[in-house]
Structure 1
Amino acid sequence: MPFEPDSSVFEALLNGCQVHKNVDLGVRAAGRLLQLDIANPGIYVMLSNIYARARKWDQVEYVRGLMRQRGLMKTPGFSLVEIGETVHTFFAGNNSHPNWPEIEELLDTLRLEVEALGYAADTSCVLRNVDEPMKVKLLWGHSERLAIAFALLSTPAGSSIRITKNLRVCIDCHNVTKHISQVVKREIVVRDANRFHHFVNGRCSCNDYW
């Protein structure tokens, strides 16, 4: 490399290691990043995710223990949707919204419909040591799915839906949203931490690269 790599280079490398499950290189990249910024919780989270994808649960707990010792907290993921003049916020697995019964019922219906189109949950996105049925349940509780379901219930048929998420959309949520756009015949726009995603009729504007 013709220049000294900075934190952005190592962050890109660490993210690539997370996607491709390259544990050894990921550990080295995280080590270099921590030399530059030991108090950045995102580094610990990505390293923990790399270990989780490799099913190295003891190392996952070790990294999380380091975060606790150093007083660092993971940024909670949430999704926002504006209906009228009100912004509704959804957190993963949270059922406190007043319309939760309707949201849950619609999610159950959507799950059956997208599975009929060939969707199968990618449980590698669930970075917790639980059984497969629980992993699927956790995926269907992701914040963007809750926001999408609520938006479908709260807006006219055929209208576009716009969701904002503070973190990167996971691979499975990206895949299921493509299928949902095909089922409901609506454009679904999701702005995540990386880019805008325009889902229309089973396809995304990013061409599955984000």
Structure 2
Amino acid sequence: MGLVNEGQHLFSSMTQDYGIEPSMEHYTCMVRLFGRSGLFDEAMKLIRDMPLQPCATVWRALLGACLVHKNIDLGKVCAEKVLEMEPQDELACVLLSNLYATAGKWDNVSLIRSYMRNKQLKKEPGVSWIEKQGEVHSFTAGDSSHPDMRVINAMLEWMNRKIRKAGYVPDSNVVLHDVGEELKERLVWFHSERLALAFGLVSLPSTSPIRIIKNLRFCLDCHASFKLISMVTGRELIVRDLNRFHQFVGGICSCADYCMQQDFMNRIAY
């Protein structure tokens, strides 16, 4: 929740009040807490002062924060540290590539992608699942293989019109490719969770909640659209992504949008 002071107090109390030496997981949590709040000096000081040799997880946590705050220089250092320890870590490569993409450094993006091809590293594809009458239906971004694709596409168009009238403006920044604005908007509209939601809206009873599971994190634009869709349809939408549950009711999400303001790591591979 970004409660830096509270987190620091709990971390200090481990040794001061209870005599418990923090483990690598505790240090990683603190690095992530400082990083998400933009406190990079504090995060680096903690890493330097650690009695343990920082592992790849610590640097990866700070790399994710660098993506949030577009700190390219430090992000590059973090990615290099991770790859020194784990040369086959595709997540570090993807995060660094996304960091360069947000800054419009497409030459650097190409270099990272070339490195990944040479190392035969691949991004994990985003998948969303939804259940109907005991049968699980899965969707990937841009998927057109589902037998009900015609009605799903019709529902997507309906949702698009309704939420645009309610004030929706596509956030094309979540598409980290060097393509035109119109194509970016189209790509983001066919993310896996939206396909699953469209299927749920046409297939499940209007009185029942729509429950979706996603293997990666929600993207910012999908999160914003789900809020508006819950408002215009009057449906309860529940999404379990990689990190947490999101419950959308009447245009409000249970995460209070804080995590979506912070977690730009969810721009990975939809």
When the two structures are superposed, what TM-score results if normalisation uses the length of structure 2?
0.76
* Aligned with 1:103 (options 139, 152, 159): 152
Aligned residues with identical type, % of pairs: 47
- Which amino acid is 2:167 matched to? G
Aligned residue for 1:113?
162
Quick one: which amino acid aligns to residue 200 of structure 2?
A: A
Match of 1:88 among 97, 113, 137: 137
Where do 5+ consecutive residues of structure 1 fail to align? none
In the aligned structure 1, how far is the partner of 2:66 from the partner of 2:114? 22
Moved over 2 A (4+): 4-9
Amino acid at match of 2:162: E
Q: Offset of 1:147 from its aligned partner? A: 0.3
The match for 1:48 is 97
Cα distance in 1, alignment partners of residues 68 and 144 from structure 2: 30
Q: In 2, Cα distance between the equivalents of 1:189 and 1:92?
A: 19
Tell me the residue number matched to 1:8. Answer: 57
State the one-letter code of the partner of 1:21: K
- Counterpart of 1:145 (choices 164, 169, 194) is 194
User: Is the aligned partner of 1:133 residue 2:176?
Assistant: no
Three-state SS of the structure 1 residue aligned to 2:59 is helix
User: Equivalents in 2 of 1:29, 1:180: separation in Å?
Assistant: 38
Q: CA deviation at 1:90?
A: 0.3
User: How do 1:1-210 and structure 2 match up within 5 A?
Assistant: 1=46, 2-3=49-50, 4=52, 5-210=54-259
Matched AA of 2:231: Q
Range that drifts further, 140-149 or 16-25: 16-25
Using the TM superposition, give the Cα deviation of residue 11 of structure 1 relative to its aligned residue in structure 2, in angstroms. 1.9
Alpha-carbon deviation of 1:209? 2.5
Contact in 2 for aligned 1:158/1:185 (Cα 8 Å): no
Structural RMSD (CA): 1.1
1:114 corresponds to which letter in structure 2? I
- From the CA coordinates, give the structure whose radius of gyration is larger: 2
- Structure 2 letter corresponding to 1:28: V
Cα drift, residue 158 of structure 1: 2.6
Distance 1:175 1:52 in 2: 22
**Which SS does the other structure have where 1:96 is aligned?**
coil
- C-alpha distance in 2, partners of 1:36/1:190? 34
Report the secondary structure of 1:158's partner residue.
coil
Distance in 2, Cα, partners of 1:14 & 1:115: 34
Which structure shows the bigger proportion of residues in helix conformation? 2
SS across alignment from 2:131: strand
